[in-house]
Structure 1
Amino acid sequence: MSLLEVRNLSKHFGGNKAVDQVNFDIQEGELLALIGPNGAGKTTTFNMVGGQLPASSGSVKLMGKELVRMAPRKIAHMGVGRTFQIAATFASLTVVENVQMALLSHEKKIYSFFSTASTQYRDRALALLAQVGMDEQADRPCSELAYGDVKRVELAMGLANEPKLLLMDEPTAGMAPKERNDLMALTKRLVIERNMAVLFTEHSMDVVFAYADRMLVLARGQIIAEGGAEDIRNHPKVQEVYFGTGKTFEKNAEKV
């Protein structure tokens, strides 16, 4: 059985079929990219998997348990982590306090952040920060960090609930090329070390081709192609959707 099974997932806004009968699986230890041109239905699909958007129909099962119509908080407690296109950290708190907040939320003790509970979870927070290379900056305010480092802190927060599946919404948005590659190399390492799965949306094709184990290409709400980098790069329908007939992906293209 796959870790995540998505079957006939659809979202309709009136007469508009934003997502129409989407099917895919994710295995443990897999980094799966969900790509497509603007308006393809990527974000809608992504948000239905995470519970931020209710599906019109279809099924999303994590280890056989149905997630559709489940609240995002309950989905998180089942082992689904999340990072956002715009990093969701508290700028006024320190790096370690941000991760402590995520741990306290996971343990349902968010009300006691300023009690002894915050001390109790400091070691766990530091351990997570060590995994993303941010433990030496643990006591710096997030407001002082470079953007690439903020995204690392957010990644540590996303790992606080020990996710089996991590959802990453355009994780490298706004980052320089080196920062993009550093973050995705780190993510790839964590996927292997933790044997978790990652589903991510992304516009930077250099990142997708370099780090995704497999790709799903959406267009007009439907999956038009699935496979590895070479399969997708040479797929005639993908070329047509992105660039028009006859053009191909560039291996080192930074943006689509």
Structure 2
Amino acid sequence: MTELLQVTGLGKRFGGVQAVADVGFALRPGEVLALIGPNGAGKTTTFNMLGGQLRPDAGSMLLNGTALGGKLPREIWRLGVGRTFQIAETFASLTVAENVQMALLSAAGRTFGLWQKAAAFEREQALALLALVGMQDQADRACNALAYGDVKRVELAMAMAHKPLLLLMDEPTAGMAQAERLQLMALTRQLARERNMAVLFTEHSMDVVFAYADRIIVLARGRLIAEGTPEAVRHNPEVQAVYLGTGSTYDSQEPV
């Protein structure tokens, strides 16, 4: 199958710290890829370069042959890259449906003046997206009244509003109970398969990683140390020593 995302020789330095060095991997449509590693491994830096929040110092990132490096986050979004965040990004005072409608407005490139009401804009499409994530029956509740796991589902519906080719999920299950974690990632993998959408996610909950990733890439000190199926990565001696086992030699005070 043709690769959707190709990352080659990616590098980023902050002063005297080489946060990411010569990282490369590929991602196919419909595939779910986990990016893991200890604190300071370079996961967040890699993620932010893909999303446009940081510019790489070296290497290339190609989405369907189009270079992502140097583009702004909104430009990358327009190319078909969606994103969810470790702390859910929703409008707390708006209803569930209105949050998704806001995402649909953005996807359509539409703006409304303060004198105009956007409450009716693409409501049926918003409800259809909410149905995908099991939240249609809560469409008219305010987001600030939802359980955290449900807010994460709303955020996923919002990310799906512009039909992304690639979905980046930064710690998607942070702060969730185990049952909620597994449900959210099962849903994400289902959407990836049904929509032929590639998913790249970072995660510290290994139950989620090994249950739902098709492949795993492992970073340590900014370098790729392993890549493969969950079973292969689980039994990789270097991964066990650095991350999965006790006494990691790559821990740092701050995540990078």
Equivalent AA in structure 1 for residue 225 of structure 2:
I
1:213 aligns with 2:197: no
Structure 1 counterpart of 2:47, which letter?
F
Partner of 1:89: 90
Between 1 and 2, higher relative CO (CA 8 Å, sep ≥ 6) is seen in: 2
Which amino acid in the other structure matches residue 130 of structure 1? A
Letter in 2 for 1:98: N
- On the 8 A contact 1:239/1:246 being kept in 2, the answer is no
The offset of 1:113, in angstroms, is 7.8
Q: Which amino acid aligns with 1:126?
A: L
Deviations along 1:177-196, one digit per CA (max 9) or x if unpaired, are 00000100100110011010
- Identity of paired residues, percent? 65
Match of 1:203 in 2: 204
Q: For residues 110 and 21 of structure 1, what CA distance do their matches in structure 2 show?
A: 41
Within 2, Cα distance between the matches of 1:114 and 1:18?
Answer: 47
Go from structure 1 to structure 2 and tell me whether the alpha carbon gap of 1:116 and 1:84 turns closer, same or farther (over 3 Å shift): same
**How far off is 1:168 after superposition?**
0.2
Q: Distance in 1 between matches of 2:166 and 2:41?
A: 23
Deviation for aligned residue 1:117: 4.5
Distance 1:94 1:132 in 2: 16
1:110 aligns with 111
Which segment drifts farther, 120-129 or 135-144? 120-129
Q: State the distance in 1 between where 2:247 and 2:15 align.
A: 35
Displacement of 1:107 in angstroms is 1.4
Residue in structure 2 matched with residue 254 of structure 1 by the alignment: none
Residues 199, 112 of structure 1: alpha-carbon distance in 2 compared, 3 angstrom cutoff: farther
Task: Identify unmatched segments of 5+ residues in structure 2.
Answer: 249-256
Q: What does residue 194 of structure 1 align with? A: 195
Equivalence for 1:139: 140
What is the aligned partner in structure 2 of residue 253 from structure 1? none
Aligned length: 247
For 1:80, the equivalent position in structure 2 comes to 81
1:15, distance to aligned residue in structure 2 (A): 1.9
CA contact (8 A) 2:112 2:118 kept: no
With the length of structure 2 as denominator, give the TM-score of the two structures. 0.93
Shift of residue 118 of structure 1?
3.8
Shift in Å, 1:246: 10
C-alpha RMSD over aligned residues: 1.6
> Could you list the runs of 4 or more consecutive aligned residues of structure 1 that deviate by over 2 angstroms after TM superposition?
110-118, 243-247
